[in-house]
Amino acid sequence: MKKIVLILGLVMLIGMAVGHAHIARETDNFTLGQKINSENDTSGQIDSVSLTKIINSNSTEYELSINKRTRKMFALAKTTIEVKVDDNPSHKFDVQNLQTMPTEDPYIYSYYIKTSMDQNIIAEIKNAKRIALRVELVDGSQPVLVLREYILNEWQQVINIEK
Protein backbone atom coordinates (compact mmCIF):
# COMPACT_ATOMS: atom_id res chain seq x y z
CA MET A 1 0.00 0.00 0.00
CA LYS A 2 2.81 2.40 0.90
CA LYS A 3 4.47 1.73 -2.47
CA ILE A 4 1.27 2.57 -4.34
CA VAL A 5 0.84 5.85 -2.45
CA LEU A 6 4.51 6.72 -3.00
CA ILE A 7 4.33 5.97 -6.74
CA LEU A 8 1.05 7.88 -7.09
CA GLY A 9 2.53 10.89 -5.27
CA LEU A 10 5.63 10.81 -7.46
CA VAL A 11 3.54 10.68 -10.65
CA MET A 12 1.46 13.65 -9.47
CA LEU A 13 4.59 15.67 -8.64
CA ILE A 14 6.11 15.01 -12.06
CA GLY A 15 2.83 15.85 -13.79
CA MET A 16 2.54 19.16 -11.96
CA ALA A 17 6.12 20.13 -12.79
CA VAL A 18 5.56 19.76 -16.53
CA GLY A 19 2.95 22.51 -16.72
CA HIS A 20 4.43 25.03 -14.31
CA ALA A 21 5.24 28.48 -15.56
CA HIS A 22 8.80 29.69 -15.24
CA ILE A 23 9.68 33.26 -16.03
CA ALA A 24 13.38 34.13 -15.85
CA ARG A 25 14.66 37.66 -15.33
CA GLU A 26 18.18 38.85 -16.08
CA THR A 27 19.89 42.25 -15.86
CA ASP A 28 22.46 43.41 -18.42
CA ASN A 29 25.18 44.94 -16.24
CA PHE A 30 26.46 47.08 -19.11
CA THR A 31 23.21 48.71 -20.27
CA LEU A 32 21.28 48.09 -17.02
CA GLY A 33 18.48 46.80 -19.23
CA GLN A 34 16.26 43.86 -18.28
CA LYS A 35 15.53 40.61 -20.12
CA ILE A 36 12.39 38.76 -19.11
CA ASN A 37 12.07 35.33 -20.68
CA SER A 38 9.44 32.62 -20.87
CA GLU A 39 10.79 29.37 -22.31
CA ASN A 40 8.61 26.30 -22.54
CA ASP A 41 9.10 22.78 -23.80
CA THR A 42 6.49 21.64 -26.28
CA SER A 43 5.72 18.32 -27.86
CA GLY A 44 5.50 17.46 -31.52
CA GLN A 45 7.56 18.87 -34.36
CA ILE A 46 8.83 21.82 -32.30
CA ASP A 47 10.78 21.16 -29.08
CA SER A 48 10.61 24.52 -27.35
CA VAL A 49 9.33 28.05 -27.80
CA SER A 50 10.21 31.23 -25.93
CA LEU A 51 9.15 34.84 -25.72
CA THR A 52 11.73 37.35 -24.48
CA LYS A 53 10.98 40.93 -23.44
CA ILE A 54 14.01 43.25 -23.59
CA ILE A 55 13.59 46.48 -21.63
CA ASN A 56 16.14 49.25 -22.14
CA SER A 57 16.03 52.82 -20.85
CA ASN A 58 14.22 54.12 -23.94
CA SER A 59 12.67 51.06 -25.62
CA THR A 60 11.02 47.69 -25.14
CA GLU A 61 11.50 44.92 -27.69
CA TYR A 62 10.21 41.36 -28.01
CA GLU A 63 11.86 38.28 -29.50
CA LEU A 64 10.31 34.93 -30.41
CA SER A 65 12.59 31.88 -30.46
CA ILE A 66 11.90 28.31 -31.56
CA ASN A 67 14.08 25.24 -31.06
CA LYS A 68 13.96 21.85 -32.77
CA ARG A 69 16.27 18.82 -32.39
CA THR A 70 16.29 16.71 -35.54
CA ARG A 71 18.19 15.38 -38.53
CA LYS A 72 19.42 17.89 -41.13
CA MET A 73 16.68 16.94 -43.60
CA PHE A 74 13.99 18.17 -41.16
CA ALA A 75 15.79 21.29 -39.89
CA LEU A 76 14.14 24.66 -39.30
CA ALA A 77 14.52 26.90 -42.36
CA LYS A 78 15.70 30.52 -42.26
CA THR A 79 12.52 31.89 -43.84
CA THR A 80 9.63 33.21 -41.74
CA ILE A 81 7.73 32.50 -38.54
CA GLU A 82 4.00 33.00 -38.94
CA VAL A 83 1.96 33.94 -35.86
CA LYS A 84 -1.84 33.83 -35.73
CA VAL A 85 -3.65 35.27 -32.72
CA ASP A 86 -7.32 34.29 -32.30
CA ASP A 87 -9.25 35.11 -35.50
CA ASN A 88 -7.01 38.04 -36.46
CA PRO A 89 -5.03 37.98 -39.72
CA SER A 90 -1.70 36.18 -39.34
CA HIS A 91 1.61 38.04 -39.03
CA LYS A 92 4.78 36.89 -40.79
CA PHE A 93 8.17 37.71 -39.31
CA ASP A 94 11.48 37.10 -41.09
CA VAL A 95 13.82 34.78 -39.23
CA GLN A 96 16.76 36.97 -38.25
CA ASN A 97 18.98 34.32 -36.75
CA LEU A 98 19.46 30.59 -37.35
CA GLN A 99 21.89 28.63 -35.19
CA THR A 100 22.84 24.98 -35.60
CA MET A 101 24.45 23.11 -32.73
CA PRO A 102 25.62 19.48 -32.66
CA THR A 103 24.20 17.10 -30.06
CA GLU A 104 25.58 13.92 -28.51
CA ASP A 105 24.10 12.01 -31.48
CA PRO A 106 26.19 12.65 -34.65
CA TYR A 107 23.05 12.59 -36.83
CA ILE A 108 20.92 14.93 -34.71
CA TYR A 109 21.39 18.70 -34.46
CA SER A 110 19.68 21.37 -32.42
CA TYR A 111 18.28 24.14 -34.65
CA TYR A 112 17.35 27.48 -33.15
CA ILE A 113 15.58 30.35 -34.95
CA LYS A 114 14.79 33.82 -33.64
CA THR A 115 12.82 36.84 -34.82
CA SER A 116 11.71 40.21 -33.46
CA MET A 117 8.01 40.83 -32.91
CA ASP A 118 6.39 44.23 -33.38
CA GLN A 119 4.09 46.05 -30.95
CA ASN A 120 0.99 45.25 -33.06
CA ILE A 121 1.22 41.51 -32.42
CA ILE A 122 2.17 42.09 -28.78
CA ALA A 123 -1.04 44.11 -28.33
CA GLU A 124 -3.02 41.18 -29.79
CA ILE A 125 -1.29 38.64 -27.53
CA LYS A 126 -2.18 40.63 -24.38
CA ASN A 127 -5.83 39.55 -24.62
CA ALA A 128 -5.46 36.42 -26.76
CA LYS A 129 -7.37 33.20 -26.20
CA ARG A 130 -5.36 31.22 -28.80
CA ILE A 131 -1.98 31.56 -30.51
CA ALA A 132 -0.74 29.37 -33.36
CA LEU A 133 2.79 29.41 -34.77
CA ARG A 134 3.84 28.09 -38.18
CA VAL A 135 7.45 27.57 -39.24
CA GLU A 136 8.99 26.18 -42.38
CA LEU A 137 11.35 23.22 -42.45
CA VAL A 138 14.06 22.71 -45.08
CA ASP A 139 12.00 19.87 -46.60
CA GLY A 140 9.20 22.38 -47.33
CA SER A 141 6.76 21.16 -44.67
CA GLN A 142 5.18 23.74 -42.37
CA PRO A 143 4.36 22.38 -38.91
CA VAL A 144 1.90 24.32 -36.76
CA LEU A 145 2.16 24.65 -32.99
CA VAL A 146 -0.90 25.82 -31.06
CA LEU A 147 0.33 27.12 -27.72
CA ARG A 148 -1.05 25.44 -24.63
CA GLU A 149 -3.03 27.65 -22.27
CA TYR A 150 -0.30 27.77 -19.61
CA ILE A 151 2.25 28.98 -22.21
CA LEU A 152 -0.16 31.65 -23.46
CA ASN A 153 -0.78 32.78 -19.87
CA GLU A 154 2.94 32.96 -19.21
CA TRP A 155 3.53 35.04 -22.36
CA GLN A 156 0.82 37.45 -21.21
CA GLN A 157 2.55 37.74 -17.83
CA VAL A 158 5.88 38.53 -19.53
CA ILE A 159 4.22 41.24 -21.65
CA ASN A 160 2.56 42.81 -18.59
CA ILE A 161 5.69 42.85 -16.40
CA GLU A 162 7.04 46.36 -15.94
CA LYS A 163 10.70 47.13 -15.31
> Domain for residue 109, yes or no?
yes
User: By the 8 A CB rule, do 100 and 57 touch?
Assistant: no
pLDDT computed for residue 101 by the predictor: 96
User: By the 8 A CB rule, do 70 and 108 touch?
Assistant: yes
CATH code of the domain covering residue 68: 2.60.40
Q: What is the DSSP letter of 73?
A: G
Exposure of 87 in the CB half-sphere (CA atoms within 13 A): 0
Dist. CA 67–CA 127, nearest whole Å = 25
> Domain for residue 12, yes or no?
no
> Domain for residue 17, yes or no?
no
Dist. CA 149–CA 127, nearest whole Å = 12
> Domain for residue 3, yes or no?
no
- Of 73, 67, 141, 71, the C-alpha closest to 98 is 67
The per-residue pLDDT for range 56-87, each reduced to its tens digit, is: 989 999 999 999 999 999 999 999 999 999 99
Per the structure, how many domains does the chain have?
1
Which residue range(s) make up the domain with 120? 23-160
Q: 0.85 exceeded by the pTM?
A: no
> Domain for residue 140, yes or no?
yes
> Domain for residue 1, yes or no?
no
> Domain for residue 127, yes or no?
yes
> Domain for residue 8, yes or no?
no
**Average pLDDT of the segment spanning 127-156:** 97
